[in-house]
Chain A
């Protein structure tokens, strides 16, 4: 346990020195702010771009606060996820290809220690980025559109965060035995595949982690009762499988050839 903490501290220092702990939260805040701003100022933006068909603007109604918040969180599913996958891809593969992992694993710690510490650091980064992003989005929505229930925002952001964490965990798994760009590509591909499968067969796959983004929106819109058990449980199992797999695979891929 102590070595997990030691390694976690090293990971956090690395995130800071590589500026990831700065730029990723800033990007998340910008994304969070942009959604309410563009929604609110849509007529001005359209006017400024010229040749708007007359009558279009009269029909424009600003969506409700909860809807805009759901849209803001939805932003993180594309751009945010891409950024997180790119930040994760080097995590294990960088240590393998440079050879630093060999120097670490001769010390009394297991590959699982390494994987848990790295995962925990990425979770910290995700929570900071998503947390600040959601707060910024919420603040703008309250200023421009209407009031929000902050406990609902917290719940919705957590559910969305779990989905992002699944993508990060899968990228981490691939990073244990593939080169960084391949790991990011496969992690994103698998996540997109899951999301696509869920959108095609929602009733069949509503127990998978891919249902989490929809559930997050439903929580915000308070659209009836939401059953979270299946998706959360399956997300937890997916994450555990990714971490277990990464621990096993890194053991086989310690040594540079």
Chain B
């Protein structure tokens, strides 16, 4: 337990980034969001896992 194994932590960070990227792609394509788009942009970029989940569940009006 001396050194942190970054090889195991990297995938976690990559997956979180992937989630945010999927969110950003969908945000670019979607016509209507609940609330302003720029707010969701900030939430997706800085909101980590929870931000992405909130965006996907309540942010998108039409699918």
Contacts and interface: CB of A to CB of B under 8 A. Distances in A.
Direct contact of A and B (CB under 8 A): yes
Given A14-B63, A44-B4, A86 B57 contact: yes
Given A23-B52, A41-B4, A30 B16 contact: yes
A23 B1 CA distance: 32
B63 A23 contact: no
Interface in A68-116: 83, 86-87
A144 B8 CA distance: 9
A30 B63 contact: no
A20 B1 CA distance: 37
Contact of B8 (A22, A29, A37): A37
A49 to B, nearest CB: 15
B11 A33 contact: yes
A120 interface: no
Nearest to B18: A26
Interface residues of B, number: 22
A26 B15 contact: yes
B6 to A, nearest CB: 11
A60 to B, nearest CB: 10
Contact of A22 (B4, B12, B22): B22
Binding site of A, secondary structure by majority: helix, strand, loop or mixed?
Answer: helix
Contact of A19 (B9, B11, B15, B56): B56
Contacts, number: 52
B19 A27 contact: yes
Contacts of B56: 19-20, 23
A34 interface: yes
B23 A30 contact: no
Contact of B49 (A18, A27, A41, A86): A27
Given A23-B19, A34-B12, A18 B63 contact: yes
Contacts of B60: 18
Interface in A160-211: none
A149 interface: no
Interface of A: 14, 17-20, 22-23, 26-27, 29-30, 33-34, 37, 40-41, 43-44, 83, 86-87, 140, 143-144
Among all A-B residue pairs, the 6 with the closest Cβ atoms: A18-B63, A86-B57, A23-B56, A26-B19, A30-B15, A19-B26
Given A19-B22, A30-B49, 16 more contacts: A14-B63, A18-B60, A18-B63, A19-B56, A23-B22, A23-B23, A23-B56, A27-B52, A30-B12, A30-B15, A30-B16, A33-B12, A37-B8, A37-B12, A140-B8, A144-B8
